[in-house]
Amino acid sequence: MSQPLKSKRALVTGGSRGIGAAIVKRLARDGADVTFTYASKPEHADETTHAARALGVRALAIAADGADAAAVSAAVERTVRELGGLDILVNNAGTLLIATIGTYRLEDFDRMVAVNLRGVFVAIQAAVRHMTAGGRIITIGSCNAERMPFGGGAVYAMSKAALVGLVKGLARDLGARSITVNNVQPGPTDTDMNPAQGEFADTLRKLMALPRYATPDEIAAMVAYLAGPEAAFVTGASLTIDGGFTA
């Protein structure tokens, strides 16, 4: 089996389940040693750790809430200590709350920004202190940055649209160091947060050119491409994988 990430060291935030767990396992399958953060459900973190280790790599779960800047920074530092360095950072941790502008609580707004944007910034700032040429930074955004076809999603869309600008700017900041920075924008994906048989699934499928949900493994494949050697000339990009949701 080809292992294009052999000897690489990766950190995935929010990696215990769903898209994050698929990314952890795909990076491990491609040969990378990997740590990941989780905020709840340690049993899922254990399952993901065991699955990654079964692929013959080092794997470690680190408890860290994406809204806690100190915990996010500490997760980066622990990764460097445990794995001996850091080559790949995948910012997957995120949160979603749907509510109209008239009912959206300020504390919910603050948490959305803290996890979906501030935590990403904190992780990147900590990671680049340790990255060398060839480093990869990948954020998990959303197709809702480009299209929000239903009410109540304004704050979520804002948080994901902000990642597009952050990635473009950081690609300029880090290009001279040969570190790439890219954004993956999934569409509806079959996870426990948004199951393919959930109450909104039929509505979402009607908005897509391919009338089905993505699998987490399909999103992980895009991340693995950006983390690998074939994507060395891709930076500042937002790559949408949404079944035509934004077409």
Instruction: State phi, psi for 191 to the nearest 5 degrees.
Output: -135, 175
- What gap in Å lies between CA 79 and CA 35, rounded to an integer? 6
- Per the annotation, the verdict on 225 as an active-site residue is no
In the chain, what is the straight-line distance between the N-terminal and C-terminal CA atoms, in Å? Answer: 35
Which listed residue (38, 104, 156, 225) is catalytic?
A: 156
Contacts of 36 (CB under 8 A, 6+ apart): 11, 12, 13, 14, 15, 16, 20, 24, 45, 48, 59, 60, 61, 62
Q: What tokens does 141 get?
A: 């955004």
Annotated active-site positions, please? 156
